[in-house]
Amino acid sequence: MAVRLIFSFDSEDYMTPAAAEAEKWWAEIMSKHGITACIAIVGELARTLQKRGRKDVLSAMSAHEIAYHSDFHSLPPTWAEILDECGWQDGIERILLTELKGISDVREAFGQHPSAWCKPGTVGALKLLQRCRYWISQFFAIHLLPFNAVNLFGSLTL
């Protein structure tokens, strides 16, 4: 029986410039050994790497499967905090507006659409997951369409 391993990394430190060296090192060491990792990227990290001119890091990470890890990870207000103040429809809309920008930025920075969603931190509250189920289905539905986040949001029927 063959054993299959999946190497999955969260990449979410957009505050510490030196963290980019670790991101690059992990991506390169995986590539060196012929391993394709799954790297879950926070939208703000994608933007920060671009602003800092770290094409070397973006290129090294782009050799792997890119997943999406929310726009700002656990920066307040978190999803749970946002949804606690919202009803069903306005909660979905508020989060969708933020997350579509992150998805678009990750796609632009890495040249590939995120293959998966990796939830940020401890946002696994049952209430939140129930609400996200609908949104995640939209995420997978929309990824086939070319989009500008604002235009796409305007065209969605929620």
Chain residues in the site for Zn ion (CB under 5 A): 10, 12
Question: Which CB sits closer to Zn ion, 12 or 105?
Answer: 12
Angle at 91 (CA atoms; ends 85, 94), nearest 5 degrees = 110
- Residue number, 12 or 65, with CB nearest to Zn ion: 12
C-alpha torsion angle, residues 88, 90, 96, 101 (rounded to 10): -160
Looking at the Cβ atoms of 22 and 152, the one nearer to Zn ion is 22
Rounded least distance, CB 17 to Zn ion, Å:
19
CB of 54 to Zn ion, least distance (A): 20
Considering the complex, what minimum distance in angstroms separates the CB of residue 12 from Zn ion? Answer: 5
Map 26-48 to HEC letters: HHHHHHHCCCCCEEEECHHHHHH
Which residues have CB under 8 Å from 70's CB, separation 6+? Answer: 42, 43, 79, 99, 102, 119, 120
Query: Closest residue (Cβ) to Zn ion?
Result: 10
Distance separating alpha carbons of residues 43 and 12, to the nearest angstrom: 8
Provide, rounded to whole angstroms, the least separation between the CB of residue 13 and Zn ion: 10
Which residue's CB is nearer to Zn ion, number 70 or number 104?
A: 70
